[in-house]
Structures are given as C-alpha cells and as structure tokens.
Structure 1
C-alpha cells in the first residue's frame, strides 16, 4: 500500500504569484530532482494544482502540489519499496521547498 508523504510550506505571496513562481521554476525542480536520481515524467497543471509523476529506483511515484493563498501542500504517494525514504524525503522538501517560492536568485 502506498505511503503518503505530506509537506506544507507557508508563503505570503498569494495564490496567483505562488503558482506563477512554481510554473517558472519547473525546470529548476526537474534539475534538483535529477541530483537524487529522480525523474519527473509528468507535470500537468489543473488550475492551482500540479499533478506530478516521478520515477525513482524503477518505481512510479504520484504526487500533487496544491497551491493555496498562504501555503503550498505537497503530497507524494510512495510505493512500499520507497517508503523507507519517507522521512528523508519529507526533510528534504521542507529544507529546499521554500526556495522555490522565494525571490529570483535566492534558490538553492
């Protein structure tokens, strides 16, 4: 059974500007994931929601990024084979995620 990993990142941008920044930085997100041998195989926006498909260690991972007025909620469903990485993934997203919403030039 998949294990959900949920991270919430607060912001003060408003929904529209947060969506705009994430859309602009999808390339940076792909590149950052590549450092961890994760490939983004799908990124489709449906309003203020980004539907993700990722591939890691031969496993398919589904995720969503919901952008709200004052926070972004990221949920990834890890297959049981990758569930051992849940805590590490959560910590990494909490550490690196806010930079994607920050001003230009302030990304990690």
Structure 2
C-alpha cells in the first residue's frame, strides 16, 4: 500500500520534521498499543518496524521533492483494514509535516 502526501517544504525540512516527530507515529495507529521503531537507511528514506494488534508490520517513507510516499506492507490478515490504515497514514503524515507548535 502506498499513500502520497504532497508538501512544499524541501527535502531537508521534511527530514527534520519526520525525525522530530517520529516518536509520535504510534499515537496515530488505530487500535492503540502500537510500538514503532524507526531508522534512516538512507538520507531520503525512513524505515519503520511496527508491532500492533498482534501483527508485525514494516514500511518506509520516501522523501521526494514535492511529496512524501508512505509505503506499508499489510499482511493478508489485515487487508480488510486497508482503508482505515490509509486514512490514518494520510492524517498522521500531514500532522508529522506540520510546523512545530510552540
């Protein structure tokens, strides 16, 4: 599953905001009780390992000039949740790219 979120921030600013807000990813996963680990295998890719609802999920975020693309691998058992997960990614992705609140 892929979800693209447009931005006008520049790659460096997107990297900074994703880095600063990555600890909040678990708060946006439906069902709660999720654990998320992130890493940066390259400058423009943040990898994610997610444990939620007894399932292990993996995904990554690719940073492009005008959009970020969330890639998520859903196991077949959770395929029915695709619309919910897609909506949550779109909403939380936009929040992660917002400017910091003072």
- What TM-score, normalized by structure 2, do the two folds share? 0.88
Shift of 1:105: 1.7
Distance 1:98 1:33, change over 3 A: same
Aligned residue for 1:17? 13
Cα distance in 2, alignment partners of residues 85 and 37 from structure 1: 16
Q: Aligned residues, how many? A: 101
Find the partner of 1:67 among 63, 70, 76: 63
Distance 1:58 1:35, change over 3 A: closer
Aligned residue for 1:56? 52
Shift of 1:35: 6.1
| 8 Å Cα contact 1:33-1:39 kept in structure 2 | no
RMSD, aligned α-carbons: 1.8
Cα distance in 1, alignment partners of residues 76 and 3 from structure 2: 19
Question: After the TM superposition, which residues 15-94 of structure 1 pair with which residues of structure 2 at under 5 Å, given as runs?
Answer: 15-33=11-29, 36-40=32-36, 42-46=37-41, 47-94=43-90
Shift of 1:37: 2.7
User: Tell me, which stretches of 5 or more residues in structure 2 are unaligned?
Assistant: none
Cα distance in 2, alignment partners of residues 21 and 67 from structure 1: 11
1:7 aligns with 2:10: no
Cα distance in 2, alignment partners of residues 90 and 34 from structure 1: 11
Structure 1, residues 55-105: CA drift from partner, whole Å, max 9, x if none? 122111010100111110001001111111111110122223211111112
